[in-house]
Structure formats: C-alpha cells, structure tokens
Structure 1
Amino acid sequence: MSIQWRKSYEIGVEEVDSQHKELFKRIRDLLDACSQNKGRQEVSKMIDFLEEYVEIHFTSEEKLHIKNLYPEYKGHKLLHAKFVKNFEELKKKFEDEGPTLQFVGMVNKFVVEWLIHHIGTADKAFGNYMKSREIQLSRQ
C-alpha cells in the first residue's frame, strides 16, 4: 500500500492537517527506506523519529480537543493510546527482526491503514465539530 496525502484527508483544522501531512511523508520515507534496503541503523532512526512525532501530534491534537471542549475527547484519546501500544509492538518487531518484508506489511496494516481510517472517521468528526463550533461562535 502506498501512502500518499490526498486533499480528501483534510479535516479543516490547519494545525492537524499540517501534522497529518508530515506523518504521511515520514511513513512514506520509512517504507521507502525499508524497500531500498537502507540498513537497520537508518530505518531505526526513522522509526524513533516517527515515534516521537506521533507523540507530539497526539498531544497537540488532544490539547485542541480540551481547549475546544470536544465531547469525544476521552474516546479519541483512547484510540491514540491503542495506536501507541501497537506502534511499540511494531518497534519491538523491528528490533528483533530488522526491516523484513513482514515488518513492512505490519507498517502498512498497523500504521498506514490505521492512520487513514482514523483520519477519515475520528479526526473528521473533530473537524466537523470545529466547523460547527466556529459557526455557533460567529452567531454570538
């Protein structure tokens, strides 16, 4: 599965959309490094960076939820926590086996597919909430 950013993934919250685009780029770079046999050390650095960036992104997104009184905040936060747990398992798999074909398959399943689904459902719902909130605030 190729990971390419599409305009349809935008949720209408600039900060979140910008971070999502960066996530797509970094995941694509990781998959490219694996397919081009860049080596364990380089792939490991990319995984570490991605892990840190995901944490930054989730924290940033959750702060927006709190700031804007998003009613689905707790459930959304749980989705993020589940992803972090799965990513830790993926990282362990890499540490044990390296950038194998099975590892690339796991990245596609647990990272790419999850991210696209998450953006298309949970994050879109937040974007819609923000749009309705802006409309309500503009009427006051």
Structure 2
Amino acid sequence: MIALIQRALNASVTVAGETLGEIGPGLLILLGVEKGDTEQQAVRLCERVLGYRIFGDENDKMNLNVQQAGGSVLVVSQFTLAADTNKGMRPSFSGGADPAEAERLYNYFVGCCREKGIATETGRFAADMKVSLVNDGPVTFWLQV
C-alpha cells in the first residue's frame, strides 16, 4: 500500500463539476493499493501518515503531525501509484489490486483516519476526479508499507 502525501494549504476533489471533498490546511493523501495488501497494512499506513511530523512548530521545524497542527486530510484513490514503470514506455498496472479489493481497502484506510479523530474528506473511488492542491512548501513524501 502506497501513500503519496502532500502538505496542503488547501485541497479539493471534484467529479463532474461537483465538489466531493475539500480541506483547508492539512494533507492531501493519494492512496494506491497493490495486490496482496491487507487491512493490517492499511492500519499501519494510516498510523504512519497521520503521525508523520511534517508541519512546522513554533520554531518552524517539522515537528508536528497533521492532528497536532490542527489540519485535516483529503484521501483520494490513485491506482497509478501501483504502476510498474521500470521498463518500456508504457506503465504496467499488473501490480495493482483488483478494483473490488482496492475499494475495500481504500474505505478501510479512510475509516481508520476517521477513527483516529482526524477530519477526513474523500473523493469517489474509480471516478474521473479533478484534484486541486496548493502544496505548502512544497512538501511531498512517499510512504509505503
């Protein structure tokens, strides 16, 4: 399971012109699910993402996690994160989880974020989404479990 996290001043996701999720300061989380991923990995990745200290403290050092910084999260499914790009000129998606399992684990990850008490917005799984982001920093990290 892969999370590409971006520290955001604001972020939103729309489908067919309708805004489904929108946050102010916080994290945009692009989530990719690979074959063989489990609920245990979803929980571990959720804990890592929410605990990752990438927000500035009073000395402007990256010492605060998203919750300590008073932020929220926007979780967007992104199957292309599971792509194999090692050879050729076209990505292979054979390493991605089948859509039903990917959706189940995506929803499990979202549920984990909400259970941890973080304000959580989402996109729509498998939809053609338009994601907007003002990346703060820019700060972007790739986390994988």
After TM superposition, the score normalised by the length of structure 2 is: 0.29
Higher normalized strand content (fraction of residues): 2
Higher normalized helix content (fraction of residues): 1
Larger Rg: 1
